[in-house]
A = this chain, B = another copy of it.
């Protein structure tokens, strides 16, 4: 038995973690991409719990930055950034349920150099921005195109970084809001958390009938915080398995791997993201073990792990976790 058979997804999902029908959404199938997470778009696909869906995603710039001599400020057209595939309608999903998404694989797609990163004006963790508004002059724009494959990210002649792909933006629709795909929040979205990669299961709250799953913005590798605001962006082919947990209401995204459970908070200032995540984890541990919230709070003081997702998006993201072995999972 693999760890997956004992996961929340396999134990509580409608499809019991078993793969169902296979589906494919190519770039052309998608046609029009989306720049908001909301209930106003028509589903591109409708599936049953258990569905295995293969999705082609654009990079965060929709492939428009093709050369190191490009000037992103002239090419990019806010708010039409971070194009999302979807929404995928999951049959049976209702407000108050939980959508479970197992990430099977993420592969780069398209001609080399596949990877793009850049410095954008007034965007990033170490520069003045539209929110942390200052009078200092911005840094100059700069584009870097990078070859990469499943064996590595070839940063320079001397530096090869590992290929550690994940989905930068994934989530369900809010009930009545349509929020920019640049934003992370309680429904997921642009969390930019490196843990959301192959081998993990992400759990998302269902806020609207059908759940309306969106995704995009895959990264080949990213450091903690996504410091300059643009990770190693790449077009990708993503394979997911979707399941539905009825009546399992969660406040914020959760993540499960073989060894760890994690909760994800997004807010400003950054301590509020950490508070959200850790409070959710206190509650989760207490629900699983019955040890009481205060005991869970003290245990996390000793054994909690925090992962800084982004400190650049409209809300910052932190994931907080604990080893399953400490709580008998």
- Chain B residues near A282 (CB, 8 Å)? 126, 135
- Minimal beta-carbon separation of A232 from chain B (angstroms): 6
Q: In the complex, which of the residues B132, B223, B229, B275 contacts A275, with contact meaning CB atoms closer than 8 Å?
A: B132
Q: In the complex, which of the residues B40, B126, B223, B278 contacts A40, with contact meaning CB atoms closer than 8 Å?
A: B40
Q: In the complex, which of the residues B139, B175, B226 contacts A136, with contact meaning CB atoms closer than 8 Å?
A: B139
- Minimal beta-carbon separation of A185 from chain B (angstroms): 10
User: In the assembly, what is the distance between CA of A138 and CA of B232, in Å?
Assistant: 29
Stretch from A1-9, A155-163, A195-203 at the B interface? A155-163
A125 within 8 A of B: yes
User: In the assembly, what is the distance between CA of A226 and CA of B278, in Å?
Assistant: 11
- Chain B residues near A230 (CB, 8 Å)? 301
Question: Quick check: A270 and B267 within 8 Å, CB to CB?
Answer: no
Question: Quick check: A126 and B271 within 8 Å, CB to CB?
Answer: no
Please classify how large the interface on chain A is, using the bins under 10, 10 to 19, 20 to 34, 35 or more.
35 or more
Question: Quick check: A306 and B127 within 8 Å, CB to CB?
Answer: no
Stretch from A21-29, A67-75, A99-107, A291-299 at the B interface? A291-299
User: In the assembly, what is the distance between CA of A176 and CA of B124, in Å?
Assistant: 23
Question: Quick check: A303 and B135 within 8 Å, CB to CB?
Answer: no
- Minimal beta-carbon separation of A293 from chain B (angstroms): 6
A268 within 8 A of B: yes
Q: In the complex, which of the residues B117, B274, B293 contacts A302, with contact meaning CB atoms closer than 8 Å?
A: B117
Q: Mark A131-155, 1 if CB is under 8 A from B, else 0.
A: 1111111111010100000000101
User: In the assembly, what is the distance between CA of A326 and CA of B162, in Å?
Assistant: 11
Interface residues of A in 192-227 (CB under 8 A from B): 221-227
Question: Quick check: A297 and B228 within 8 Å, CB to CB?
Answer: yes
- Minimal beta-carbon separation of A111 from chain B (angstroms): 21
A328 within 8 A of B: yes
A38 within 8 A of B: yes
Question: Quick check: A276 and B133 within 8 Å, CB to CB?
Answer: yes
- Minimal beta-carbon separation of A234 from chain B (angstroms): 12
Q: In the complex, which of the residues B133, B304, B316 contacts A223, with contact meaning CB atoms closer than 8 Å?
A: B304
A46 within 8 A of B: no
A31 within 8 A of B: no
User: In the assembly, what is the distance between CA of A68 and CA of B248, in Å?
Assistant: 34
Show the binding face of A for B, using Cβ within 8 Å: 35-36, 38, 40, 79-80, 117, 119, 124-128, 130-140, 142, 144, 153, 155, 158-159, 161, 174-180, 221-232, 251, 265, 267-272, 274-276, 278-280, 282, 293-294, 297-306, 308, 311, 316, 318, 320, 326, 328
Closest 4 pairs (CB-CB, A-B): A223-B304, A269-B269, A136-B136, A270-B270
